[in-house]
């Protein structure tokens, strides 16, 4: 396959993902609004482009990893956007987490130009992006997915096509329901254990070996009890995902009572200036309610 891959969005997730493409032997052509990030990647072997349009002109596959639905619309459909430079047969792979409805709209606009779109949001946070172990859920045509599989394999491990355009984003929102619900359970359990005087490290070790095991328990609980709230994924980004999730649920007239409550709990963290901390900071909301900290003694 053609080894040229465009990459737009060099943030907390995008930069390590682009680095993994370089390490896998792809020729990466990069664009980012903060130009210093592009310059940093150029020192590692990438080429620079001065607009999304230019990236699309140079590369048959373009990956986007930006923050929200309006950002993807601007990068793809806006002035000097991908759509102004895209060629028939090219593929735009959006690996952001955005609205399924907006995804389908962008895919339809690209189709008018003879180009394809895959929505391919990821799970695994910054740590998974750095290690190249992301789970990637892909919506789009099967033939296009197969063609782009080597690109995905450079960035992730569990790579699945889950349906047509918009279904990648839909499954990612399913993922987020499970992630926040499970993390809230971990946080409640730790606060309960702390209040009861249990040894937190031992407790985590014991319950991790049974039916309560989860990624959040294994990876985030040890950070919580050490007071480590550095982000693998930031609170404000999780809030964006939950907003998308609840908007989509509202369109379906679907109640999600527990997820809605956790959205409000994260809002409490944003209100107290903790929106850039890792999502495990959710425990702080419960600690404030309980008057106890779940930390190693």
- Which residues form the catalytic set? 172
Burial of 285 (C-beta count, 10 Å sphere; 0-12/13-18/19+): buried
Q: Which of 168, 177, 129 is nearest to 148 (CA)?
A: 168
Between CA 152 and CA 39 the distance in angstroms is 24
The contacts of residue 132 (CB under 8 Å, 6+ apart) are: 20, 154, 155, 156, 157
**8-state DSSP, 82:** G
Question: How many other CB atoms are there within 10 angstroms of residue 142's CB atom?
Answer: 11
98 backbone φψ class: left, alpha, beta (φ>0; ψ -120 to 50): beta
**8-state DSSP, 61:** E
Q: Which of 207, 119, 218 is nearest to 160 (CA)?
A: 119
Residue 65 contacts residue 17 (beta carbons within 8 Å): yes
Cα–Cα distance list, 253 to 105, 174, 246, 293 (Å): 21, 16, 10, 38
Do β-strands 134-139 and 122-123 pair in parallel, antiparallel, or remain unpaired? antiparallel
Between CA 32 and CA 43 the distance in angstroms is 15
């Amino acid at each position: 396959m053609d080894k040229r891959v465009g990459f737009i969005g060099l943030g907390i997730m995008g930069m390590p993902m682009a680095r993994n493409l370089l390490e896998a032997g792809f020729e990466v052509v990069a664009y980012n609004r903060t130009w210093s990030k592009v310059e940093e990647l150029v020192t590692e072997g990438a080429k620079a482009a001065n607009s999304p349009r230019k990236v699309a002109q140079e590369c048959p596959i373009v990956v986007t990893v930006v923050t929200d639905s309006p950002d993807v619309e601007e990068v793809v459909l806006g002035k000097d956007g991908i759509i102004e430079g895209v060629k028939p047969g090219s593929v735009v792979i959006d690996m952001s987490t955005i609205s399924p409805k907006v995804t389908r709209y962008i895919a339809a606009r690209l189709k008018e130009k003879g180009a394809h779109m895959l929505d391919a949001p990821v799970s695994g946070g910054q740590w998974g992006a750095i290690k190249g172990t992301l789970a990637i859920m892909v919506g789009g045509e099967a033939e296009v997915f197969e063609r782009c599989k080597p690109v995905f394999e450079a960035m992730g491990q569990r790579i699945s096509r889950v349906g047509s355009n918009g279904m990648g984003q839909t499954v990612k929102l399913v993922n987020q329901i499970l992630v926040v619900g499970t993390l809230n359970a971990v946080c409640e359990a730790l606060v309960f254990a702390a209040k009861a005087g249990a040894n937190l490290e031992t407790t985590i070790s014991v319950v991790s070996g049974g039916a309560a095991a989860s990624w959040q328990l294994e990876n985030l609980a040890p950070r919580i009890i050490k007071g480590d709230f550095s982000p693998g994924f930031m609170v404000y980004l999780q809030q964006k995902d939950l907003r998308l999730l609840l908007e989509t649920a509202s369109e379906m007239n679907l109640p999600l009572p527990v997820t809605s409550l956790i959205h409000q709990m994260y809002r409490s963290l944003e209100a107290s200036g903790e929106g850039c901390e890792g999502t495990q900071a959710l425990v702080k909301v419960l600690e404030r309610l309980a008057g106890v900290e779940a930390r190693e003694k």
